[in-house]
Amino acid sequence: MLPDCFECKYGEMGHPCRLRDGAFDFAKVAAAIIGVARAYQAADAAGGEAVVGDSIAWVTDCEYEAIEDHPQLLLPLIVAAMDACETPADASFVAAGLIENAVVKHGPVLIDRLEALAVASPKASYILSGIWSQRGSVDEAVWARIGRAVAKHPRMSSDGRGPHDGGTVTVLDEVAAAVLMQERVSETARAISL
């Protein structure tokens, strides 16, 4: 079932987050999230304000609606967003935005599948390792399980803000992380029946 927001202010654009058959277009939404990420990255590099084009600006509302009220859309959207990440900077944006907010709001609902994905996929684990608990806003049991799951693969950072199991943290350098971004998380998700 599609969220009510799909009858929204973007209807005149042909409901940009839908496929022709009306189904939610996870890949298109994920690509738009990465487009927003890159607009912010470019603004940071230039020392200016982010300019998000009209062709992808809709995704902010779409992502918010999915996180707030439609947890059934979150895992496929998270997997699509992970697949769309081509750089470590993309991965950081997805971790700090979509995934972190989804885990804060729906962690107990998502944890079994996120944990399985993080154990099976080095890229998923790397990206998941980039979330923060938002000052303890993540359910403690969920946070502990994420910490144990991401401990099985190298992480995004060792700054102490991400999930942790108390063990030694191995951090990928930029080159290794860039290579890791080539992994297709969706293939792993299918292989483990997520």
pLDDT at 74 over 90: yes
Name every residue whose Cβ is closer than 8 Å to that of residue 127 and which is 6 or more positions away in sequence. Answer: 82, 85, 91, 94, 95, 99, 156
pTM for this prediction = 0.92
β-partners of residue 18 are 24
Q: What is the pLDDT of residues 9-43, one digit of tens each?
A: 666 666 788 888 888 899 999 999 999 999 999 99
Domain spans of the chain, in order of start: 4-185
Q: In the prediction, which pLDDT does 100 show?
A: 97
Q: What is the pLDDT of residues 82-126, one digit of tens each?
A: 999 999 999 999 999 999 999 999 999 999 999 999 999 999 999
Mean pLDDT (the chain) is 91
pLDDT grade, residue 2 (50/70/90)? low
Q: In the prediction, which pLDDT does 90 show?
A: 98
Q: What is the pLDDT of residues 81-92, one digit of tens each?
A: 999 999 999 999
pLDDT at 62 over 80: yes
Q: In the prediction, which pLDDT does 8 show?
A: 62
SS3 state of residue 48: coil
pLDDT at 1 over 60: no
For the chain, the C-alpha Rg in angstroms (whole number) is 16
pLDDT grade, residue 49 (50/70/90)? confident
Rounded to whole angstroms, how far apart are CA atoms 130 and 95? 5
pLDDT at 177 over 60: yes
Q: Which two tokens stand for residue 171?
A: 């951090």
Average pLDDT over residues 159-166: 90
pLDDT grade, residue 147 (50/70/90)? very high
Neighbours of 21 (CB within 10 A): 6
